[in-house]
Amino acid sequence: MSQLTHRIYIWTLTTIVLLTTAFLLIKGVPYYMTPIEERFYHPDHNWFKPSGAFGHGLGIVGTLLILIGVFGYIARKRYKFLARFGRLKYWLEFHIFLCVLGPIMILFHTAFKFGGIVSVSFWSMVAVVASGVAGRFIYIRIPRSVEGRELGLGELKEMKSDLDKILKNSYDLSEKDYQMLLDSTKIKSDKAGRNLLGSIMSKYISDKKTIWKVKRMLRKNRMSRSNVRKVAKIINDELTLGNRIEHLQTMRKLFKYWHVAHLPFAIIMLIIMVIHVAVTLTFGYRWIF
């Protein structure tokens, strides 16, 4: 998958989530805004209530999406023959898509009415989604190979380009500009003593400013636009790789702790979901069948 195709893929998944959420809100907001004790008298109550045709259908579809997302991703990690159907990175992104869209549908299935044991499953689901977002933040900051294998520190250091040779041999730069570009990629210690998240955000903003300064300096020297983009990309890649090397061990530890928090909530959610479905079927709620 090329970079452009990957961007289209991500934007397509994001758009589906946003449009689905907007559709469900627009379609059902008059009912959902009605006080719970008055909903029985609403003309669309039999349609939107959790056991209604629409509400029940959302619960079924949402549950299926979550199950496909969870067990599909687990299978991709466990069975090597599935590697022919796409990189682990793309499976993870699709897993996140299904496990965001599914809970949104289940939220509307509940008609925003929470109670009993199902509420435990719902809030566990919320915890799973929230921890999943945090896990994705950590995951993308651990460098990996094309196949999704985690890279070691030595492999990362080998990836660093000979920046000085590239800049000196490929671009017509003065000694002052050349040195400025080299200095811009050096990792500066965080003297403010920020926490990890604060440090990452501060470094992100600082790197963006550095790239902006690099581009402005190169334009002043009347470098062509294509070369400005190439040099800026080289500097940006060096900064990104340097940041990942600096935080590698911390991110690895956080990812281990993340599994400890994410998995129990997911198991609780799935167990109570199975109980809920079993009870629903026992009481004869079989949707349209």
What is the tens place of the pLDDT at every residue in 30-65?
A: 898 888 888 888 898 989 988 888 988 998 999 899
Q: Are residues 76 and 59 part of one domain?
A: yes
Report if residue 289 sits inside a domain. Answer: no
Q: Are residues 188 and 158 part of one domain?
A: yes
235 burial via Cβ count (<10 Å: 0-12, 13-18, 19+) = buried
Find the range with the poorest average confidence among 140-149, 179-188, 213-222: 140-149
What is the tens place of the pLDDT at every residue in 121-178?
A: 777 778 888 777 777 777 776 665 545 555 555 655 555 556 666 666 666 666 776 6
Q: What is the structure's pLDDT at 61?
A: 92
Q: Are residues 69 and 14 part of one domain?
A: yes
Question: What is the total count of domains within the chain?
Answer: 2
Please report the DSSP string for 118-186 in residue order: HHHHHHHHHHHHHHHHHHHHHHTTS-B-TTSPBPPHHHHHHHS--HHHHHHHHS---HHHHHHHHHHTS
Q: What is the structure's pLDDT at 146?
A: 46
Q: Which residue has the higher pLDDT, 240 or 143?
A: 240
Report if residue 104 sits inside a domain. Answer: yes
Find the range with the poorest average confidence among 66-75, 153-162, 258-267: 153-162
Q: Are residues 204 and 145 part of one domain?
A: no
Report if residue 213 sits inside a domain. Answer: yes
> What is the average pLDDT score of the chain?
78
Q: How many helices (H) and strands (E) does the chain have?
A: 10, 0
Q: Are residues 226 and 106 part of one domain?
A: no
- Residue 8's domain comprises 3-150+253-282
What's the token pair of residue 135? 């896990």
Report if residue 111 sits inside a domain. Answer: yes
Tell me which residue of 105, 235, 220 sits closest to 182, measured CA to CA: 235
Q: Is 284 helix (H, G, I), strand (E, B) or coil?
A: coil
Q: Are residues 129 and 75 part of one domain?
A: yes
pLDDT at residue 24 tops 90: yes
User: What is the phi/psi pair of residue 144, to 5°?
Assistant: -135, 160
Task: Look at the block and give the residue holding tokens 């040099």.
Answer: 231
Report if residue 25 sits inside a domain. Answer: yes
163 burial via Cβ count (<10 Å: 0-12, 13-18, 19+) = middle
Q: Are residues 200 and 268 part of one domain?
A: no
Q: Are residues 11 and 93 part of one domain?
A: yes
Q: Is 194 helix (H, G, I), strand (E, B) or coil?
A: coil
197 burial via Cβ count (<10 Å: 0-12, 13-18, 19+) = exposed
Q: Are residues 35 and 23 part of one domain?
A: yes
Q: How far is CA 73 from CA 140, 160, 283, in A?
A: 17, 32, 33
Distance CA 65, CA 102 (A): 5
pTM: 0.66
Q: Give the end-to-end CA distance of the chain in Å, rounded to a whole number.
A: 41
Distance CA 10, CA 90 (A): 9
Report if residue 138 sits inside a domain. Answer: yes
Q: Are residues 113 and 38 part of one domain?
A: yes
Q: Are residues 66 and 50 part of one domain?
A: yes
Distance CA 204, CA 243 (A): 9
Q: What is the structure's pLDDT at 15?
A: 95
Tell me which residue of 195, 194, 186 sits closest to 243, measured CA to CA: 186
What is the tens place of the pLDDT at every residue in 204-215?
A: 787 788 888 878
Report if residue 132 sits inside a domain. Answer: yes
Q: Are residues 273 and 228 part of one domain?
A: no
Report if residue 203 sits inside a domain. Answer: yes
